[in-house]
């Protein structure tokens, strides 16, 4: 992605920076001006300034996604923060991976769909989902992807944790979105799944990736493992 390569070459902490006064005053950059974080915040600000110049708008949206991914890697739950140079390098790596992934997805959709793909997103509780009007004519989803919370672990999706466990809504600033729904909307109403078992049961388990540094201190717990669940529609008798 040429944009990321250009940012890597041009990003300088001493250069002027364009502030997002609206997000600043609303508290979306909270805890990012500390002695530990201000350099990374400034790098993010300069990177976002270049993203705003991209056209068409979908390129800006993709660039913001790249910045979001790299910034999360750099700031969220880190015991040791990366340098600005490491931030630059990771930005290029993430941009290449996301661009490649977007192209692969586009080709896969073209091969599997006849004409324009029809996508519908439902922003609602899963309770009573089967009675939603979208499924009134017998339509059913081909794939269901769910996100945890993990057993016994407090999961924070709509905030990053910086400087230990200080919470910041910086992801909304980077994405140019407002935080209006809170933890209940993005964290499955703060529900915790019942404790499971890691016994050999024929299911597909893995160790939860990118855990918080303080979670790793607890070692192997029920919350350190996750299982893949496959949902199959029950046929009417």
- The tens place of each residue's pLDDT in the chain, 237 residues long, gives 789 999 999 998 888 888 889 999 999 999 999 999 999 999 999 999 999 999 999 999 999 999 999 999 999 999 899 999 999 999 999 999 999 999 998 888 888 777 677 777 787 777 888 888 888 878 777 777 766 655 555 667 789 999 988 999 999 999 999 987 555 444 444 444 333 444 466 667 777 776 666 666 677 776 677 777 766 666 655
Cβ–Cβ under 8 Å, residues 70 and 94: yes
Q: In this structure, is residue 26 part of a structural domain?
A: yes
First-to-last alpha carbon distance for the chain, in angstroms, is: 53
Q: Please report the DSSP string for 171-204 in residue order.
A: HHHHHT----S-HHHHTGGG--PPP---S--SS-
Range of the domain at 94: 2-112
Q: What is the DSSP letter of 149?
A: P
**Residue 123 located in a structural domain:** no
Provide the 8-state DSSP code for 15.
S
CB-CB contact of 227 with 203 (8 Å)? yes
Query: How many domains does the chain contain in total?
Result: 1
pTM for the full predicted model: 0.70
Decide if 236 is inside a domain. Answer: no
35 in any annotated domain: yes
Distance of CA 230 to the CA centre of its chain: 22
- Is residue 19 domain-resident? yes
In order of 1, 53, 102, 112, 141, the CA distances from 115 in angstroms are 28, 32, 19, 10, 18
221 falls within a domain: no
Residue at 7 is within a domain: yes
Q: Which residues pair with 205 in a beta bridge?
A: 227
Asked whether residue 37 is domain-assigned, the answer is yes
């Amino acid at each position: 992605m040429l944009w990321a390569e250009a940012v890597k070459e041009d990003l300088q902490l001493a250069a002027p920076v364009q502030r997002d006064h609206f997000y600043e005053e609303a508290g979306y950059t909270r805890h990012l001006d500390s002695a530990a974080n201000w350099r990374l915040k400034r790098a993010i600000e300069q990177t976002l300034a270049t993203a705003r110049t991209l056209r068409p708008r979908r390129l800006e949206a993709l660039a913001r996604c790249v910045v979001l991914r790299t910034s999360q890697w750099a700031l969220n739950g880190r015991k040791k923060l990366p340098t600005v140079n490491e931030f630059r390098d990771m930005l290029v790596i993430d941009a290449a991976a996301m661009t490649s992934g977007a192209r692969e997805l586009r080709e896969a959709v073209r091969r599997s769909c006849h004409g324009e793909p029809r996508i519908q997103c439902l922003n609602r509780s899963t309770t009573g989902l089967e009675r939603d009007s979208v499924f009134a004519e017998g339509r059913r989803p081909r794939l269901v992807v769910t996100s945890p919370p993990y057993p016994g672990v407090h999961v924070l999706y709509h905030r990053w944790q910086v400087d230990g466990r200080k919470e910041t809504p910086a992801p909304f600033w980077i994405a140019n979105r407002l935080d209006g729904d809170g933890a209940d909307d993005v964290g499955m109403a703060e529900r915790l799944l019942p404790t499971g078992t890691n016994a050999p049961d024929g299911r597909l388990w893995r160790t939860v990736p990118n855990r918080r540094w303080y979670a790793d201190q607890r070692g192997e717990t029920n919350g350190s493992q996750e299982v893949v669940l496959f949902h199959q529609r029950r046929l009417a008798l």
